[in-house]
Amino acid sequence: MRRVVLIGFMGAGKTTVGLALAKLLGWRFRDLDGVIEERENLSIGRIFAERGEAAFRQAETAALRDLLQERPAAGDLVLALGGGAFVQEENRLMLEEAGAITVLLEAPLEELQRRCRDEQKVRPLAGQESDFAALTTLQKRLLQKAASLLKPGGMLVYCTCSLEPEEGEAQIAALLAADSAFRRIPIAPGEVAGLSEIVNAEGDLRTQPCHLPHSDARLAGLDGFYAARLVKA
């Protein structure tokens, strides 16, 4: 039996993409959270509230194990996991043993936060806006740490898959303002196949969905990437 398993943070689009992919492939679709709710006859919100996260994780692993042990006759499967499911090592090993193809879906933190806020789904672990803010702060600290580890003369390439300036341009602007040892080496259009539209005025790479137009809409556009190249004096 072939299986594609979608993983990623809350709000990454695992269920939405999973449904569309299953339709495209003509495969079955299951959402692990939905399977857990059916088996426990309780909503995810109530499992967390009444039994706690540890009990939820046990139910999650049991549901995943049973799904992975289904007979081949059940048919090929697209499976969307809950955000935390792949974090559990036991689950990761089970997926690896089963030979499942795992696909990580990513989105900028701000976008994940917006989706979790706007969607109807009850997410016991997504209540705190500050949780997301903490992740953006962590991103800043990672960059500062990398900058401090770099030897003089070394090059730092910062790259993020995000359309949000807070996660891209602003992070580099803050680093350059705080640490005079760093200087930007602008990216030349010749280094990116002559696509001058994906290099911004500062010489950083900035791709957007409007780039690389194509008459076939399915082939058009670029994901939102930002990259800057710095050197340390």
Per the document, the length of the chain is 233
- Given the structure tokens 């046990």, which residue do they identify? 58
Binding segment toward ligand S3P, per CB under 6 A, in 120-128, 131-139, 159-167, 203-211? 120-128
Residue type for position 188: A
- Here's the x/- map for ligand S3P, 131-160, by CB under 6 A: it reads as ------------------------------
What is the Cα–Cα distance from 8 to 148, expressed in whole angstroms? 30
- Here's the x/- map for ligand S3P, 40-79, by CB under 6 A: it reads as ----x-----------------------------------
Report the chain's C-alpha Rg in angstroms.
21
**123 and 56 in contact (C-beta within 8 Å)?**
no
How is residue 159 written in tokens? 């790259």
Given 6, 10, 63, 67, the residue binding ligand S3P (CB under 6 A): 10
Question: Applying CB under 6 A, what is the total number of residues that bind ligand S3P?
Answer: 10
Binding segment toward ligand S3P, per CB under 6 A, in 65-73, 81-89, 129-137, 223-231? 81-89
Q: How far is CA 104 from the centre of its chain?
A: 6
Count the Cβ atoms, other than its own, within 10 Å of residue 85: 23
How is residue 21 written in tokens? 């992919």
Given 33, 37, 111, 167, the residue binding ligand S3P (CB under 6 A): 33
Residues at the contact surface with ligand S3P, assessed by CB under 6 A:
10, 14, 33, 44, 82-84, 123-125
